[in-house]
Amino acid sequence: MARTRYAPDRGLTVRMTVTMFLLGLVFVAFVALLIGIMIAVHASGAAIVLVALVFGGGGAYISLFYSDKIALAAAGAHEVTPQEAPELHGIVDRLCALADMQKPRVAIAPTAMPNAFATGRNSEHAVLCVTEGLLSPRLGLTNEELEGVLAHELSHVAHKDVQVMTYASLLAIVAGLLVRFAFYSELFGGGRRSNNQSALPIILVIMVVSAVVYAISFLLIRLLSRYRELAADRSGALLTGQPSALMSALTKVSGAMSRIPTQDLRSAEPLNAFYFAPAMKLNGEGRQSLAGVFSTHPSLEKRLEELAKIQRQLGQTTPPQ
């Protein structure tokens, strides 16, 4: 067995495990509670829960299945052939050959904001999209820096992040729907209420529990998303062997992002979780810690710090056994 210089980041693995465990725990508790409510003989409550499950599950499945088409349409991107974008395809070809992975489709979005995302339900349907802003000479990314960004995105594909995040957010989607449904049935279910006195409190319970579950799982999902960004940074930097190129790309893209008019950024916000760098930042200067909890991406400082660690690791004279 050949020696490897690419030791996994155990700390990151542990933190990710804890996050996913907590998400699972919330999920189990939530489902147990819903079943409990249904067993407590409640037709209208059970119906609401079922409808939310069907809608939430169906919605999540559709958004996963068509994630490539939806994201491309939302970004207004079009696929490009190797003849149209030889440089871009050349970089992707080489990275895929290095990583021995299937080449995703390549698309370009006509947006001035410099960014990139990768989506698709599996590696056969993956699509890697960069914006025109990322390729523009005004941003001035070198080929190595562009390669770093693409390696980060390819790592998302390799880690099946679209799938993982969809499954992780399924619970939050269902809980969010339940809050809404319970609220509407509260508003419009007046006629039935007089026949069934127990309906009101139980629907209220569903609503409150769902709201709490939604809030907790939302925070956990954001946390998981940040860990997966760090994981993609890490795998991307190890793939190219050039953490510093990724670091300078991150700095350039984040710097340019803060100069772009906000209108453009807001239209990109729904895609935020998939992006290389977040389009909308919640944080004002003094409120970093609170904004950090809600953010889909780790802060620039955190990402640079982790990449610097990889840099030291790659520079070690004797590889770890």
Partner 1 sequence: MGFLDTLFGRTKPVQPKLDDLFALPSAAITLQAATGFTPTGSGSVCFRAVEGKTFSDIQSDVRELLNMDAGKPGGGLPVEVTKDSYGFTWLVSSHLSDEVEALVTDLHAVNSALVDNGFGPQLLCTLVAFRDAEERRLALVYLYKRGTFYPFAPLSGERRDNALELQIKGTLGDELKIEQDLTKWFPVWGAPGL
What does 117-144 look like in DSSP terms, one character per residue? EEE-SSGGG-EEEEEHHHHSTTT---HH
Q: Which C-beta is closer to partner 1: that of 7 or that of 47?
A: 7
**Nearest distance in Å: CB 187, partner 1:** 41
Q: Cβ-count burial of 154 within 10 angstroms (0-12 exposed, 13-18 middle, 19+ buried)?
A: buried
**Nearest distance in Å: CB 44, partner 1:** 38
By the rule CB under 8 A, 64 interacts with partner 1 = no
In whole angstroms, how far apart are CA 124 and each of 63, 120, 128, 153, 188? 16, 8, 12, 15, 46
- C-alpha count within 13 angstroms, C-beta hemisphere, residue 82: 7
Q: Where are the alpha helices (DSSP H) in the chain?
A: 10-39, 43-65, 67-75, 86-99, 132-135, 143-158, 161-188, 190-193, 199-240, 243-257, 262-268, 288-294, 300-314
If one counts every other C-beta atom within 10 angstroms of the C-beta of residue 92, the result is 23
Of the candidate residues 79, 144, 186, 264, the single one contacting partner 1 (CB under 8 A): 144
Mark whether 306 is an active-site residue. no
By the rule CB under 8 A, 119 interacts with partner 1 = no
By the rule CB under 8 A, 137 interacts with partner 1 = no
By the rule CB under 8 A, 27 interacts with partner 1 = no
If one counts every other C-beta atom within 10 angstroms of the C-beta of residue 44, the result is 17
> Under rule CB under 8 A, how many of the chain's residues touch partner 1?
53
Q: Using CB under 8 A, which of the segments 9-17, 184-192, 265-273, 288-296 binds partner 1?
A: 9-17
By the rule CB under 8 A, 22 interacts with partner 1 = no
> Which candidate in 145, 147, 153, 229 is catalytic?
153
Q: Using CB under 8 A, which of the segments 2-10, 184-192, 284-292, 295-303 binds partner 1?
A: 2-10
By the rule CB under 8 A, 11 interacts with partner 1 = no
Of the candidate residues 24, 36, 58, 319, the single one contacting partner 1 (CB under 8 A): 319
Rounded Cα distance, 258 and 267, in Å = 15
Q: Using CB under 8 A, which of the segments 48-56, 89-97, 188-196, 214-222 binds partner 1?
A: 89-97
By the rule CB under 8 A, 172 interacts with partner 1 = no
Of the candidate residues 22, 79, 159, 267, the single one contacting partner 1 (CB under 8 A): 159
CA 217 to centroid of chain Cα atoms: 14
Buried b (16+ CB within 10 A) or exposed e, 186-215: eeebeeeeeeeeebeebbebbbebbbebbe
Q: Which C-beta is closer to partner 1: that of 258 or that of 316?
A: 316
CA torsion sign for 59, 164, 116, 276 is positive
By the rule CB under 8 A, 57 interacts with partner 1 = no
Task: Match 């939806």 to its residue by tokens.
Answer: 70
Tell me the per-residue interface mask from 96 to 115 with partner 1, x by CB under 8 A, - otherwise: xxxxx-xx------------
Task: Match 């520079």 to its residue by tokens.
Answer: 315
By the rule CB under 8 A, 187 interacts with partner 1 = no
By the rule CB under 8 A, 3 interacts with partner 1 = yes
Q: Which C-beta is closer to partner 1: that of 70 or that of 101?
A: 101
By the rule CB under 8 A, 67 interacts with partner 1 = no
The residues annotated with a catalytic role in the active site are 153
Residues at the interface with partner 1 (CB under 8 A):
2-6, 8, 12-13, 16-17, 20, 82, 86, 89-91, 93-94, 96-100, 102-103, 143-144, 147, 155, 158-161, 164, 227-228, 231-232, 235, 238-245, 311, 314-317, 319
